[in-house]
Structure 1
Amino acid sequence: MALGLWGKIRFACKVTELVLAALCMALFIRTAIPTDVARHPDVALLPVTFGGFVIVCTGLVLGFATGDKVPKKIDLLYTWVGVALFLAAGGLLIDFCYRMPDMREDRRMVALGCGATAIITGVVFIADLIFSYKDVHEYVPH
């Protein structure tokens, strides 16, 4: 698999996204926040986002690593959705910490770290979008 400079940067972005999504999932599990949808409907977004993107990013990294062509439109769709979901999840988690005054302090710190990591992951997805648009030599007109 011969990747150009932009391809190598995008592969690094995909691996970073995978690692950060897995870290977000691990931190979220550590917070022990109840995911009771009836009481906290906004919190249900968090494990779905983190777990879902661990699966999606694993598939994209394996596609890159094996040299398979990932369709550009699908890659861009996942990346745009990743930006929106990770930024929203990070903001929701930080907001949840401030709305729950009875939350244990150690869990609050882990939850705030998870929220910050989710926002950083959203920024990495934005960088991946920029590099995706720069990587124009892989676009094939139909």
Structure 2
Amino acid sequence: MAEAFQFELVSPERLLVSEKIESVVIPATEGEMTVMANHAPVMTTIKPGVVTVKTASGQQERYVVFGGFADILPAGCTLLAESAVAVKDLDRDDIARRVQDAREDVTDARDDAARTRAEQYLAQLTTLQSALQAA
């Protein structure tokens, strides 16, 4: 059994998770990260994706996040999400709306930098949408 550590998943609306867990997989901007107790200190940005939490009892819980950042320390991890929802409570129509909004953002971009950011966000959302439809 892995050593437990404190994990918190916070969105502007509410605190979704605050408990001791064994591990968490985070969709960091540079790739997925698995965080366990005594992880080296790091701060990373989060892309839209699924956070998988392995609880101290061995069960898995999954949450969809839409950006944010994670602060990882040896004693714990705090993920501050721009928006988050449990997969079991997911509104797939909400993701479809976000994809449509992102497409409009690409079309309405005023310069190349804004267009590039909008295209990256759209790509992340469509990947997330595909992954959730397969699940």
Is the pair's TM-score, using the shorter chain for normalization, greater than 0.5?
Answer: no
TM range (shorter): 0.3 to 0.5
Compare relative contact order (CA 8 Å, sep 6+) and give the higher one, 1 or 2.
Answer: 1
Query: More helix per residue: 1 or 2?
Result: 1
TM-score normalised per structure 1: 0.38
